[in-house]
Amino acid sequence: MQKKTILLATFVKPDYLEKFLNFLQKKFFIKKESTFIFEVEENNFIVTYKLYLDFDQKFDIKGNIKNTIQIHKKNKTFFTINALNKLIEKESNSDIGNIDYKKYEVDWSKYENKIILLKNNELDILDLKRKNL
């Protein structure tokens, strides 16, 4: 059967990191070596990893893994689709109805080693610093 891949990011406190990595291994068979850990502001971590699902399988992210969102990656930048749309609106300085989101070209170099999120419907762009275990 054909598989689909979703990229997930989980926000984890430092004292819970090891326990969370063990949870991924036991519940989803995701090895520590298949995760990427980034430090973000306020000494918090984001753990990114891929989940492989059957093509027609639905997965309730919030119901299965707390503090987790689906993300996308372009070069060295992580983002959510809603945050990307908000970034395009901000950068283009045009009315929302006049933007062709698919044709707009983001200068990804400005957002290297960052994660672009929405927080209370406002852009939240966080620096990422890769951590090794």
Count of domains observed in the chain: 1
DSSP string computed for 33-52: GG-EEEEETTTEEEEEEEEE
Question: Could you tell me which residue, 19 or 60, shows the higher pLDDT?
Answer: 19
The predicted model scores a pTM of: 0.89
- Predicted pLDDT at 17: 95
Average of per-residue pLDDT across 5-20: 95
Q: In 3D, which of 63, 61, 62, 81 has the Cα closest to residue 71?
A: 81
**Separation of CA 128 from chain center:** 11
Query: Can you give the residue range of the structural domain that contains 98?
Result: 3-131
| Contact (Cβ atoms closer than 8 angstroms) between residue 125 and residue 50 | no
